[in-house]
Structure 1
């Protein structure tokens, strides 16, 4: 049987590497009994009907439900091959820029759309065709070209949310080229098949883990599933396990369609074992992905591995920044084995464009196992073009479109108010949609913000910072996807340029982003009353048409974390790192002491320390900030815990009493990040090293601080500067807040560490702190200088995409 290539799935080469993520299972809405009541299977360029894998592909020239533009030709293969289906022996060729197919009676809901391409031998060289494909204004393929070297058909597959009775698909040749298609499929899938957070996606990978290829004939929706062998990093770390014929205990009708039965009857299974003398406790798969797009990642499980229910549970990892416990019997409440279930994640790859997914054991017991049955990676391809209008030939649908739009607006208003009521009185559910951004991310969901209750998103702050929405649209070219530079808890971030030439970063809220009105209002309130060289500055905001938009000056050099972990960014020398830490400390000291009442940031981390074109550090992202104690009789602010895992002040976490010393603790974690160039939490490391704060303190106390230094800094750090720096970090990370220094003391000590690094001295400072050939220094010409922050230098700050990468927020776990 012909092997179809789902374009992008069969990527040759070895396993690849990737970056970043976030949270758990999305329970999809159950559908009523499903039947493909609306379906189109089209044999393009022909008047003949052909049966192919239990589907009847009707010739487009004879179908009464299909029409296409007249500027086209049909073409027949000059060398019909028995190795491919007859649907690949004809094609429809388009040469006009406005060429299109129109399918009637499509139905409303999520549809699978498959485009079949095969450049057979003919009078026209089909492999030279370069063209775009779009649907009602939504681009599916851009400058698409089928390689001439392919010997198999290429199938591009999409899941599209279609709410129109006519389905119009455009083929637009590029330049003097042309477009072609061999076959076309459009049919409805069950309700809830694709989450609302990702309404339009393109299939990139569909993997049957631990099993053979699954062909369309063995799948209820005629999908192809590829073996995982080309994507697993260490093949010996897990073994294939098959249980063909095993009866599956589906919990609802929808689950029967989410994956082929063969996918749930095969798995890769790992257990504690030595292979070639090496102990494997994780199995990892790596995938190439579009670095500039978000992806829906669906992970499939079915437990036929456990000897009995509730005996096997394990961890699922995305890269090294997120762990999800897979415990079907405890978390999902299953009482029997062989129950198919899945987890959905929204994923935004980093600049490397690589995705790593791992399963790992909870401990080293020989009875522990972990397994994975299947996974899918689907690229989110955007939203429908709001500027799309029907052509003159479609004018008879204008009334229908207007009616649909009007009805949709009414329904949105009704559902919006209902959602506010539900969200206000319900606790966050663990079934909310997770989001994976370039760093450990917040937990997303469908929660609406208070913006839905206002004519605009916020009341009039009278700040003189209001920017018209038209100006925002101009600066971002109507939020052009090409200008998207990041996404975070609040929403997407775009690079922009105002009419006066000022470069800006535009942070736009989006539904389901996990942060909303309260964060928007907090950031406005804080940034409107502070101004400091080492704090980002707000240029303005926009609150028109239910939009919540914040506009900052653009930060040229990204975030501190970018330069510590991202190989695409320039390497930071030790002196630069010290200066960056000092700048951030000055900004925090100003927040704590330079503003009436004081402000506690509450989310200090390396992604929220930004660098301008001169590598001047600025503290960013004040959406979680809190006003400190109002008078001297108060020592803390009682508030629910929010922030980022790995940076939490343990005292704040236990007591929910927030103080300035909570920021000091988080800053101590940042100091270790700067020194070690590793994440605050790394679940793939040995247990004693997984938490950077705990591991760093242990090494400092044991006199092994030199063992944890970033290897690229070898030979750069004066040992006396290193010793002082370690002391500062250790003080910041004391468990009790009263034992930690103030930010002003931290600042003075860091300035002293910089002096030790810069000043040539003649004798030892700390006795055994410098040994062997290391430089030997004395304190004779060094004095502690008062912090320059005492002058409260106030000037414009700038912002950058680094501020918008965010880590897992506790706002959904611990409601405010």
Structure 2
């Protein structure tokens, strides 16, 4: 009898030890809970949030403004529990940082609390800002109109210091109500996860953002009931309905759950003890699933975690079903009993990675297996976490997904697109050839008529393109006699300027058009190559911000270029007067920059944007400018090369549009090449094609497409 009592006592002690180990939960090494803008500490459940005003050592900007409100979050909101935290906020008008000393490196949660209330003349819904941590962009130009939200992230912290940076946009500000930086158990996020296409994706250095954390069974689980203080919202609002059959049925049976410490970390008992199951009236052959719909951002991959626990039928082998996300089958014939090694009521977690191609939604489904007579299917919980892209961002979509995946899914669409582009290219080539041939004939006829033009009526004949111009790239060629008449034989009284090419004269053509005539001299710093390049380039486009080319003359070894006359003078005429007493390096920006040198690049940048400029981008920009200032013209880059280097500088700065330059240029070739060629010929005063409405980016893109690079 005594032996029996001893065994009973041992069993009781073991049960108590197990219960104690489960209830103790996870104790984080790092546990920073901050109540922002509050003058005192706040308690939420059994957790204490410290006022950032009382912890000034963590905030780099002591000038941040504290605000408070008496309004509360709606009592029906899942965040009502955090009302005491959301009634205060910290405001930043300049870049500000929270610094946290990390005890143990590894994954940490960053939870950001936002509630845009109105306090006096300050409306937090007008705030627009970005947030980053450890070179990861968490929020980009974030703005919240109303409501309340907790943004939860998981970062692999690899240093002893974690810096959380708030950067307001221009003429705006940033705010934060509360924040958390808490250690995450190592086993919570695996180092690698299979994708729906049976590939393996590494998560070691990737950041995650919790997009959805849902408890099936239509019950909300408070952070107070979760070992890791997670909020699980009810699945009711996400459940998709079917008019023909009762698809979803909510069930609850907490006593059937067989928890372990590992499963307690994955999700609490209250998640595994509730479920949404496929309606019992569903026919296994009816192809009916129970489904949920979630909004997600396209251009990202997502970690999807399914939580299962058999709480509806504990006879092993009786529950087998299929698991889906969108059109992919994640798991075929999922048998919880087999996967949990026959442990009744044991939780099971299924992870996969998927991307919402051609959609901004995830449809999560469970349904009956065709190889099982019993039509039941259940889901206890679900988590969807966005994975940071290759640029280390969680708020700037990247569409450079796995090429193999895209080709497998869209092979038909891509093939059709390629075929269509080939046909369009052939047709466009034929049109361009025919149009150029027609314009070439018209140009010859036009030139022959004008070649008969002379001061004394004598017939004069000239060879078109005597300086080697391509007939498709030149403007109108004027005879020398017409230029002499327009400028009164280059009268000094009509001289209006002097440049590196030569003198500039004001002239009047026979149709009373005022022109500016630039005449090259033997002492000119520019030669035939520059003369030809300038004419070919300016013949191809006109823009309201550029002086239009009217024509040229290369007769009798002359190098003459004719422009429209600027009756209001040059840009220099309208600039403020420069103080001649100042040193040259303070007047000439070029010499000032050169004097600074490469080691003082930051001094060149405007102080308003110096913090936003990437040093490598600035260095590339200065390098390009230096090449443009070469003494010898042949050493200077072409316009195409300049544009290419500027685009490279934009890429280094992180401009997203630069990533698609090549694609944009190739698409623009088809649509703009014919338009550009039309504007290169038949120039005459008052009748030339004007592209003043065309953006400068298109003009430069057209230059790149020429053989100037």
* Superposition TM-score, scaled by structure 2 size: 0.49
Q: Give the structure, 1 or 2, with the largest relative contact order (CA under 8 Å, sep 6 or more).
A: 1
**Larger C-alpha radius of gyration, 1 or 2?**
2
Higher helix proportion (structure 1 or 2): 2
* Superposition TM-score, scaled by structure 1 size: 0.43
